[in-house]
Amino acid sequence: MDGLLYGALSGIVTVAESIVVLFLLYYYYVSVYGWRKHKEDKDFTPEKRFALITAAHNEEEVIRYHLESLKRLNYPVELFDIYVIADNCTDSTATVARQEGVLVYERFAPQKGKGYALEWMFAKLFEMEEQKYDAICLFDADNVVSANFLLEMNSKLKKGYRSIQGYLDTKNPNDSWVTACYATAYWSMNRMWQLARFNKGLSNALGGTGVCLEYQLLKEYGWGATCLTEDLEFTMKLQMNGIKTAWAHEAKVYDEKPVYFSQTWRQRTRWLQGHWDVAFRYMVPLIKKGWREKKWYPIDGAIYLFQPFLITIMFMTFLFSGAAYLSPVPLYESMLTRVTPHWYWWLFGLVGYCYPMLGLILEGAPRRAYFYYITYPFYGLTWFPVTIWGLFQHKNQDNWAHTRHMRGISINSLETGQGVAEPETATPSTPVPALAVVPMGDKVKLGGARRSLVPTVNLISNEGPPSEAEVLRRPGKPVYPALVVNRPGILKPVEVVKATINQDNRSPVTVAGGEGR
């Protein structure tokens, strides 16, 4: 081979490999801060008032289960309202939501996508002067939400956090190898990436659902995030304005993951289209901000935005390695491979494959998760074509592809470990003393599905419920106030009857069509 071309290829490959190694070492360094969960002082006394907003597009098959989980939240009913945006729906999503007794707004507009729907809804919410909210929580219609979600967000807001991301879990990890890979990735990422960044003092990333934003924050800076990854765009917008996103590890949202590879291809292509777009617009400004203000978290945000570039560089190095292996003559010589022993790269690759499993161990993932991990490399390799295709399509931010959701799973079946079941029809609730508290039980695992920390169900004797002091002396997890019970004699703070959110005494809500609800 020509000496000039040989030297050029050697330089390109050396630089590419150096970039990959440096970024991976940085990720490993940050992940160390997720090895331990630090104790937090939490004030669970309900104080903040929330608007819970769900953007839904043709979600008639799952939205009932989502709304059931919101109505079962362990939080005073007078301190939160539930809103559903029926966005360009052609099915009965709006009808089902109204039957569940929540506030429904129907939107019909040529602009498609969750970002536009939220922008539209926020404008209407800001016009409701009679409603006074402290924060807005965002969900997807396929989610089911842990009972303690608002208590955790209430505690974070009282500490002064203005943007908070909850724990993203998976409600259907056993449906296929695709959902299994998603679940494995999220369990590890929640611990080794999100929690680690929070412990390190960096900014977390908003995940599109399970999000809590201070009301005044939205009024002050506006939404303005309408690309295909509106959550990532708003995360970086906040960082540009000096606001870091916090992490609530115990506030869990169970998300439905795609079952088929064709679905995950479309979904991840959309993610990468949006990621490329946000990276091109925010990466350099964040670096400049960090350099100018001598702060690391904006630069860390830019490093996160660099991910699709990193994946592309890794793909290029693989292609070069394959070509060099098949070529009868040397094509290049990497300086890194020349100065390090051959076994080092095999060890580096093995550690890179096995290290995320530490997150599964620390999170107490089910045994089946380690079996899922065998298929994870194939899932990981598919990021290469997805990233390249997302680059080619990144200028098209209007081509929003809807992922159909069909897995109707109740929060009760997930949190009690009783399998998939229809939400129960409960009897009228009975108020409990304000000081009643319930210890958190251990993680329940059944059928390979990962369960969240939930208040333990305790049978109460005829002598009445235990005192707060007695409960606090019991060993266990963080203690939540028991704000509602389902039946006399049995303390079940996660259960609330369907009619908990009673809209009868409220003024009629006008939907997009102009008619009262």
Confidence of residue 254 (pLDDT cuts 50, 70, 90): very high
Domain residue limits at 21: 1-429
- Measure the CA–CA gap between 399 and 401, rounded to whole angstroms: 6
- Average the pLDDT over each of 201-205, 218-222, 431-435, 489-493 and give the range with the smallest value: 489-493
* Total domain count, the chain: 1
Asked whether residue 450 is assigned to any structural domain, the reply reads no
What is the average pLDDT value for the chain, to the nearest integer?
80
pLDDT band at 401 (very low <50, low <70, confident <90, very high): low
pLDDT, one tens digit per residue, over 58-99 is 999 999 999 999 999 999 999 999 999 999 999 999 999 999
Reduce the secondary structure of 24-64 to three states and give it as a string. Answer: HHHHHHHHHHHCCCCCCCCCCCCCCCEEEEEEECCCCCCHH
76-to-267, 381, 484 alpha-carbon distances in Å? 36, 46, 8
Residues 6+ apart with CB under 8 A from 260: 176, 178
pTM over 0.85: no
- CA diameter of the chain: 91
What phi-psi label fits residue 359: left (phi over 0), alpha (psi between -120 and 50 degrees) or beta? alpha
The pLDDT assigned to 424 comes to: 39
Q: What is the pLDDT of residue 400?
A: 60
What's residue 482's pLDDT? 67
Q: Using one digit for the tens of pLDDT, what is the confidence trace for 29-38?
A: 999 999 999 8
**DSSP annotation string for 179-206:** HHHHHHHHHHHIIIIIIHHHHHT-----
Note whether residue 327 is domain-resident.
Answer: yes
> Is 434 within 8 Å of 489 (Cβ atoms)?
no
Residue 262 confidence (pLDDT)? 87
Domain assignment of residue 164, yes or no: yes
Indicate whether 419 pLDDT > 80. Answer: no
Assess whether pLDDT exceeds 60 at residue 480.
Answer: yes
| pLDDT over threshold 60, residue 458 | no
The CATH number of the domain where 405 resides is what?
3.90.550.10
Q: What is the pLDDT of residue 227?
A: 86
Residue 481 belongs to some domain of the structure: no
Q: Which of residues 443 and 465 earns the better pLDDT score?
A: 465
Residue 234 lies in a domain: yes
The DSSP secondary structure of 247-293, one letter per residue, reads: EEEEEEEEEPPPSSHHHHHHHHHHHHHHHHHHHHHHHHHHHHHHHHH
Q: In degrees rounded to 5, what are phi and psi of residue 115?
A: -60, -45
Residue 194 has pLDDT above 60, yes or no: yes
In a domain, 515, yes or no: no
Residue in 255, 50, 258 with CA at minimum distance from that of residue 144: 255
**Higher-confidence residue: 421 or 114?**
114
Q: According to DSSP H, which parts of 294-400 are helical?
A: 297-305, 307-326, 335-339, 342-354, 357-362, 368-381, 383-392
> What confidence score (pLDDT) does residue 397 get?
66
Flag whether pLDDT at 168 surpasses 70: yes
Amino acid 345: pLDDT: 80
Kindly state whether residue 332 falls inside one of the protein's structural domains. yes
Residue 512 lies in a domain: no
Assigned token pair, 37: 């969960």
Cα–Cα distance measured from residue 94 to residue 104, given in angstroms and rounded to the nearest whole number: 7
